Amino acid sequence: MGLLEPWHIIILLIFFGVPFGLVCGFIGAKRYVGGTAGFFLGFFLGPIGLAVVFCSNKKEPDFPFPSTLESIPDQIKKYKDLFDSGAITEAEYNLQKARLLNQN
C-alpha cells in the first residue's frame, strides 16, 4: 500500500488531465502543434504541456493579406499619396515603387 494507489492516479488524470488537455487542444488547433498533440500534451503534462503549446509557433493564415489584394498601380498610388502628403521621403517612395514594379 503505497502513497498513491492506482485509483488515485486515475482520479488525478480525470480532474487535472482532461481540463488541461481540452484547453491545450483548443489552443494547439491554431498552432503548428495541432489539436490532438496539444490535447495529449495537456492531458499528460498539465501546466508544462500548456507552456509547450503556448510556445509553439502560430499557423500562418491560408489567405493573402489585404495589402497583397491591391493591384500594383493602386499600391503605387497609395505610396504617391503618402509622398505628396510628406509622410514618406522621395527615396522611400522610389524604393517602394521599384520594389512593386520588379515583382513581376
Q: Tens-of-pLDDT digits for all 104 residues of the chain?
A: 568 888 888 887 788 889 999 999 999 999 999 999 999 999 999 999 999 999 999 887 665 555 557 788 999 999 999 999 999 999 999 999 998 888 75
Q: What is the pLDDT of residue 12?
A: 79
Give the separation between CA 43 and CA 35, rounded to whole angstroms: 12
In 10 A of CB 21, how many CB atoms?
23
In degrees and rounded to multiples of 5, residue 87 shows phi and psi of: -75, -30
Listed in sequence order, the residues at least 6 apart from 43 whose beta carbon sits closer than 8 Å to its beta carbon are 13, 17, 18, 20, 21, 24, 49
CA–CA dist 53, 3 (Å, integer): 31
Backbone φ/ψ region at 86: left (φ over 0), alpha (ψ -120 to 50), beta? left
The SS3 assignment for 7 reads helix
Q: In percent, how much of the chain has pLDDT > 70?
A: 89
The pLDDT of residue 67 is 55
Rounded to two decimals, the pTM is 0.53
Q: Which helix (H) or strand (E) holds 70?
A: none
Q: Give residue 47's pLDDT.
A: 92
